[in-house]
C-alpha cells in the first residue's frame, strides 16, 4: 500500500513539474519578443558563459581526440585500415562525440551555475525586490540566460570539435608520421554537408535545454539556502537526461537523411 502511495506521489510530482516547465517555456517565448530587450545583459551573459567554459571545453576536447585516436589506432592497424583512422575520428567527433560530450560538460558548468545563481537570488528575495522596483526579473534574468546558452553552446561545441581533431592529429603525426595537410584532407573528404547540418542544429536545442532547465530550477527554488544546492544539483541531472533525449531524437531524424 505504501509503495503504491509513493509511486502515485512520484507520478504526481513528475506531471506537476512537467506542467510548470511547459508554462515556464511558454512564458519565455512570450517575454522574449516583448520590449524592452535586455541586450547588454544578454551580451554579458554570452561573454561570461563562453569565457568561463572555454578552457574546460578546450581541454576536454583535446583529451577526447587523444584518447579516441589512441584507443582506435591498434584495432585499425590490426584490420589493415590505418589510413581510414582520420575519417573515422572526424565523422565520430563531428556527428556525435563532440556535441554530446561538450553539452554535458556545459550542463555541469553552466547549468549548475545558473541554477545556483538564480536560486540564491530567489531565497535572498533579490528577485522579489526587482519585481517590486518595476524591473521585469524574468526578462532580465531568465530570457537573457536562455538566449545566451542557445547561442554559445553551438560555438563551444564547434571549438571543442576542432580541438579534438587537433588532438587526434597529434597522435597520428607522432605514431604514423601523418602531415597536417594529409590529415585534414582525409577528414574533409570523408565528411559531407549532411554530417554537419544535424550535428549543428541539435546543439542549439542542447543550449536551449541547458539554459531552460537551469533557469527553471533556480527561478523556482524553495526551502531556503538548502534549496540552492538542490536546485543546482537537479539542474545538472535533469539537463543531462534531456540532452540524451534530444540527442536520441536528433539521431532518429538524421538517420532518415543519411
Residue 40 lies in a domain: yes
**How is the chain split among helix, strand and coil, in percent rounded to 5?**
90, 0, 10
Residue 11 lies in a domain: no
Q: List, for residues 117-150, the tens digit of each pLDDT value.
A: 999 988 888 888 888 887 788 898 999 999 999 9
DSSP characters for 211-253?
HHHHHHHHHT--SHHHHHHHHHHHHHHHHHHHHHHHHHHHHHH
Taking alpha carbons only, the member of 94, 65, 85, 93 closest to residue 194 is 94
Residue 74 lies in a domain: yes
Q: How many domains does the chain have?
A: 1
Residue 224 lies in a domain: yes
Q: pLDDT averaged over the chain?
A: 87
Residue 71 lies in a domain: yes
Q: 108 or 81, which is more confident?
A: 108
Question: How far from 108 is each of 4, 68, 142, 209, 243, CA to CA, in Å?
Answer: 34, 22, 18, 13, 12
pLDDT at residue 173 greater than cutoff 80: yes
CB distance 46 to 149 below 8 Å: no
CB distance 34 to 139 below 8 Å: yes
Residue 3 lies in a domain: no
* 29 Cα distance to chain centroid: 20
pLDDT at residue 189 greater than cutoff 90: no
pLDDT band at 102 (very low <50, low <70, confident <90, very high): very high
Within a 10 A sphere around the Cβ of 133, how many other Cβ atoms? 8
pLDDT band at 192 (very low <50, low <70, confident <90, very high): confident
If 0-12 CB within 10 Å is exposed, 13-18 middle and 19+ buried, where does residue 79 land? exposed
Across the range 89-94, mean pLDDT stands at 90
pTM of the entire predicted model: 0.90
Residue 22 lies in a domain: no
Instruction: Provide the domain limits for residue 99.
Output: 35-257
Residue 228 lies in a domain: yes
32: enclosing H helix or E strand: helix 2-32
Amino acid at each position: 500500500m505504501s509503495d503504491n502511495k509513493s509511486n502515485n506521489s512520484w507520478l504526481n510530482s513528475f506531471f506537476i513539474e512537467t506542467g510548470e516547465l511547459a508554462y515556464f517555456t511558454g512564458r519565455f517565448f512570450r517575454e522574449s519578443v516583448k520590449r524592452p530587450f535586455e541586450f547588454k545583459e544578454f551580451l554579458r551573459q554570452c561573454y561570461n558563459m563562453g569565457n568561463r567554459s572555454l578552457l574546460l571545453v578546450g581541454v576536454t576536447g583535446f583529451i577526447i581526440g587523444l584518447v579516441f585516436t589512441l584507443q582506435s589506432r591498434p584495432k585499425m592497424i590490426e584490420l589493415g585500415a590505418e589510413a581510414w583512422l582520420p575519417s573515422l575520428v572526424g565523422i565520430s567527433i563531428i556527428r556525435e562525440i563532440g556535441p554530446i560530450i561538450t553539452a554535458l560538460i556545459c550542463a555541469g558548468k553552466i547549468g549548475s551555475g545558473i541554477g545556483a545563481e538564480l536560486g540564491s537570488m530567489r531565497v535572498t528575495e533579490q528577485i522579489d525586490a526587482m519585481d517590486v522596483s518595476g524591473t521585469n526579473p524574468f526578462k532580465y534574468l531568465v530570457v537573457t540566460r536562455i538566449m545566451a546558452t542557445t547561442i554559445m553552446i553551438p560555438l563551444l561545441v564547434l571549438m571543442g570539435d576542432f580541438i579534438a581533431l587537433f588532438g587526434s592529429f597529434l597522435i597520428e603525426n607522432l605514431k604514423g608520421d601523418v602531415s597536417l595537410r594529409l590529415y585534414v584532407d582525409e577528414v574533409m573528404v570523408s565528411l559531407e554537408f549532411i554530417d554537419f547540418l544535424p550535428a549543428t542544429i541539435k546543439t542549439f536545442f542542447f543550449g536551449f535545454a541547458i539554459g531552460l532547465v537551469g533557469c527553471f530550477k533556480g527561478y523556482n527554488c524553495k526551502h531556503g539556502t538548502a534549496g540552492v544546492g538542490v536546485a543546482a544539483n537537479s539542474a545538472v541531472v535533469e539537463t543531462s537526461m534531456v540532452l540524451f533525449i534530444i540527442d536520441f531524437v536528433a539521431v532518429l531524424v538524421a538517420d532518415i537523411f543519411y
